[in-house]
Structure 1
Amino acid sequence: MAQLHDLVIDCRHPASQARFWAALLDGYAVAPYDEEELRRLSAMGLSGPEDDPTVLVEGPDGAPRMWFVKVPEPKLVKNRVHLDVRAADLEAERERLLGLGARETGRHENWIVMADPEGNEFCLQPAGGGQPGGQVGGGPVAGA
């Protein structure tokens, strides 16, 4: 049986996307840069972590890691996969996420559809309730 190890998200600016998702998710943080990693970036002609084309966000032990990978093209269409996140106080978390640069794109009976600063959709659901998956865009998302 396979196990989920990493989530990889294409984006235009990995450092800012990584900071957003690290702030969104409890227990997650942008992986620290050691001297070896800084030398690797320098050897690539990059000035530092802000220009890193692949930024890692790590969570609690056993949680999937998140990689943010620079791609040249912008997001143009609806995500084929999205994340569902849960919060004890939906409205307070919505406000916090708006302050981090997210935007609300839709509202349903039990969840709010949000988008990160580059437009990647995710669903904000109440903790301990609701069904997995939600509607993002025009129809139900099976098994998300």
Structure 2
Amino acid sequence: MTDARNAPARFKDLCLDAVDHQALADWWCAALGYVRHGSPDGAEPDPRWPVPIVDPAGAGPLIWVNRVPEPKTVKNRMHLDVSGDPVRLIALGATLLRRPDEDVHWHVLADPEGNEFCVFTPDE
């Protein structure tokens, strides 16, 4: 077993790219129950800067929503897996990409900017 303290890297944060990073940060806050992480000095951040969002309970990872100039055009090579209700996520603005079938037992959705994520219902 590898000792994580001696590994060449360790997990830090998750990052999502978005053309409208402000709106996507708000969407993920609503979807996950996250909140925007304010600056330590209380200053209002530059709206062009990445938006950090956090789990107020401290259980989930910090997610940075980064502004990029181009829209998403190809399938993600890395994605989020969440536990939740796909119907409620679709009502918030997610798009259904795939229902559970004989090959996958979860829903595949996309956030409003097209970033794919998998949704496992609590009984899965």
TM-score interval for Structure 1 and Structure 2 normalised by the shorter chain: 0.7 to 0.9
Q: How much is the aligned-residue C-alpha RMSD, in angstroms?
A: 2.1
Is residue 2:118 matched to residue 1:126?
no
Q: Give 1:11 deviation, angstroms.
A: 1.0
Is 2:64 the partner of 1:71? no
Q: How many residues align?
A: 113
Give the corresponding residue for 2:49.
53
Q: Look up the equivalent residue of 1:31 and give its one-letter code.
A: H
- Measured after TM superposition, the shift of residue 63 of structure 1 is 2.7
2:88 matched to 1:100?
Answer: no
- Inter-partner Cα distance in structure 1 for 2:82 and 2:60: 14
Paired residues of 1:4 and 1:64 also in contact (CA < 8 A) = no
Mind listing any 5+ residue stretches in structure 1 that lack a counterpart? 42-50, 88-92, 130-144
After TM superposition, give the deviation of residue 32 of structure 1 in Å.
3.6
Q: Secondary structure at the match of 1:37?
A: coil
Cα deviation for residue 78 of structure 1 reads 0.2
CA shift, 1:36, in A, is 4.7
What displacement does 1:23 show? 1.2
Moved over 4 A (4+): 33-36
Cα offsets for 1:69-90 (capped at 9, x unmatched)? 1011111100010111112xxx
CA distance in 1: counterparts of 2:83 and 2:59, whole angstroms:
18
Could you list the per-position Cα deviations for residues 91-139 of structure 1 after superposition, in whole angstroms to 9, with x for gaps in the alignment? Answer: xx2221122111101112321110000000001112253xxxxxxxxxx
- The amino acid across from 1:13 in the alignment is D
Percent of aligned pairs with the same residue? 37
The structure carrying a bigger helix percent of its residues is: 1
